[in-house]
């Protein structure tokens, strides 16, 4: 469905990606994991055809988009829904206008747009009443849902691209967003790429994971394979996450082995016939 084949990309003199290859099968989620600046968002920009690689090919549904003319590229871009890093909603538009924006651009009639907006807000777990609010009146997690709704509403795209969809959210909101991404894949059959630096998100969502380091692929495989990797870079990258998990497990053990708390004796059984 999507394939990067030996992609090199530079900006000016600076090499950003080197020999990047991976595939995303239909109805699967590929996670691109890596530290800040490793080139994750760049991969999405190339896939959207916003930038052109120096060499290599990028296939979407069997078509090499690096050969496409600008008009065709626009069409391909429209077949993909993009959830930008930090949500990137339009501050001066209501939630409903944000979600319906591209639909109105396509000149759907207003009632139809309204119907699609309501349906999509419901789909991402928001009360449709939020459509009259401004984005800054919503919590960070709700804003991220609106961003996903906007990507979905656009043209009911087969492919969804998420750039750091959980960054900056509290753990519960982040969990709800990753649940939503999994639901969109498993129940609606979306093919997706999720960019993240969060290892827990990667393990939860990724059918297959690509780890980038300074624009190069350091690992490709399943989460189980990633967990078992003995590559020094991977071990170092996973170390803080593993320490966190180990500490949490240890805390649970301590809780379990703690001496039972003092329980004050309960009230004595009421006497038959009353206390008199
Ligand atoms: N418009 C640009 N002009 C020049 N250099 C850029 C531009 N965009 C990205 N870069 C450089 O490309 C490299 C990769 O950037 P990219 O945004 O893909 O990283 P990232 O992995 O998404 O990082 P983060 O996790 O911080 O979002 C960085 O070194 C960055 O400085
Ligand atoms: Mg980025």
Return d(Cα 155, Cα 100) in angstroms, integer: 10
Return d(Cα 127, Cα 138) in angstroms, integer: 12
Residue of minimum CA distance from atom 6 in ligand 1 = 11
Contact 43, 4 (CB under 8 A): yes
Half-sphere exposure (Cβ direction) of 98: Cα atoms closer than 13 Å = 27
Q: Which atom of ligand 1 is nearest to the CA of 195?
A: 22
Residue of minimum CA distance from atom 1 in ligand 1 = 11
What string of pLDDT tens digits covers the 276 residues of the chain?
A: 999 999 999 999 999 999 999 999 999 999 999 999 999 999 999 999 999 999 999 999 999 999 999 999 988 988 898 888 776 889 999 999 999 988 887 777 888 889 989 988 988 889 999 999 999 999 888 898 899 889 888 777 899 999 998 888 888 888 888 998 999 899 989 999 999 988 989 999 988 999 999 999 999 999 999 999 999 999 999 998 888 877 877 887 777 666 666 666 656 555 555 444
Contact 32, 43 (CB under 8 A): yes
Residue 276: per-residue pLDDT: 46
Q: Around Cβ 229, how many Cβ atoms within 10 Å?
A: 17
List residues near ligand 1 (CB under 6 A): 11, 16, 34, 36-42, 85, 197
48: CA distance to ligand 2 center in Å? Answer: 14
143: CA distance to ligand 1 center in Å? Answer: 24
Q: pLDDT tens for residues 136-188?
A: 999 888 898 899 889 888 777 899 999 998 888 888 888 888 998 999 899 98
DSSP state of 207: S
């Amino acid at each position: 469905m999507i394939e990067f084949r030996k992609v090199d990309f530079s900006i000016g003199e600076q090499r950003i990606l080197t020999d990047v290859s991976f595939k995303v099968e239909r109805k699967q989620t590929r996670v691109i994991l890596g530290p800040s600046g490793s080139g994750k968002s760049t991969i999405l920009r190339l896939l959207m055809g916003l930038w052109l690689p120096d060499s290599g090919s990028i296939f979407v549904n069997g078509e090499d988009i690096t050969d496409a003319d600008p008009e065709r590229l626009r069409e391909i871009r429209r077949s993909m829904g993009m959830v930008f890093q930090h949500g990137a909603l339009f501050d001066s538009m209501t939630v409903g206008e944000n979600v319906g924006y591209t639909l109105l651009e396509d000149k759907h009639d207003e009632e139809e747009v309204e119907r699609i907006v309501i349906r999509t807000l419901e789909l991402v777990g928001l009360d449709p009443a939020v459509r009259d609010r401004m984005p800054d009146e919503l919590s960070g997690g709700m804003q991220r849902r609106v961003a996903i709704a906007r990507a979905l509403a656009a043209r009911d795209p087969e492919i969804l691209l998420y750039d750091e969809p959980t960054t900056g959210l509290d753990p519960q909101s982040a969990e709800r967003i990753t649940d939503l991404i999994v639901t969109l894949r498993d129940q609606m059959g979306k093919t997706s790429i999720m960019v993240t630096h969060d290892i827990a998100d990667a393990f939860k969502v990724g059918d297959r994971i690509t780890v980038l380091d300074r624009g190069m692929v350091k690992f490709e495989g399943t989460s189980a394979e990633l967990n078992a990797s003995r590559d020094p870079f991977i071990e170092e990258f996973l170390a803080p996450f593993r320490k966190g998990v180990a500490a949490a497990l240890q805390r649970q053990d301590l809780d379990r082995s703690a001496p039972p708390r003092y329980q004050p004796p309960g009230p004595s059984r009421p006497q038959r016939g009353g206390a008199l």
